[in-house]
Amino acid sequence: MNPFNFADALLGVLAQRLARQLCGKCKATYQPDAAEVQELLREYCVELQTTAAFQKDGKAAEEIVLATLRERHGDARGGFTLYRAVGCSACNGGYKGRIGLHELMIGSERLKAGIQAHAKVPELLAIGMAERMLTGPVSQAPEGKAHMHVLVIRLERSELPELLESLWD
């Protein structure tokens, strides 16, 4: 399809997936160690690697993201509380039901220009995130709805607008 016609007609992109939901009766809390936090941070930032901030100084950009996550989702000491599946008589191995994961990227003028210029998918994603693409997965792990390793992790731009705006400038 011609990218000019496609970009002109684009209103937005909605992605939705299902993930297993943790059982509310038996899920167990735990504090991840430093190695697990670093692993989750790498997963969290993987699609940001093509942004200007990560190209310039990836380590500094990761530290900004981690500090912001600690501020938004950490406890008083900056630690995280996550949940894991245990299993009980009311569930299937620690999971009961499914939870919807949704992302909405609006077809902005900047996104349309990227499509017309044949931008790669990570570049289009960075544009969407910079323009406050709506995502839900990350907020559901601290609430104990799903295990962090099950989620498709995206940066919640709606929660972190001012501090992370510099990542896309």
List the structure tokens of 2: 């011609």
Give pLDDT tens digits for 35-60: 988 988 888 787 777 777 788 888 98
What ranges do the domains of the chain cover?
Answer: 3-164
For residue 113, what pLDDT is reported? 93
CATH number for the region 3-164 comes to 3.40.50.300
Give pLDDT tens digits for 103-157: 788 889 999 999 999 988 878 877 877 776 766 555 455 556 665 544 434 434 3
> Which tops the pLDDT comparison, 32 or 139?
32
pLDDT band of 168, cuts 50, 70, 90: very low
Phi, psi of 46 (to 5 degrees): -60, -40
For residue 141, what pLDDT is reported? 53
To which residue do tokens 């501020």 refer?
A: 71
Return the SS3 of 53.
helix
Q: What is the pTM of this model?
A: 0.61
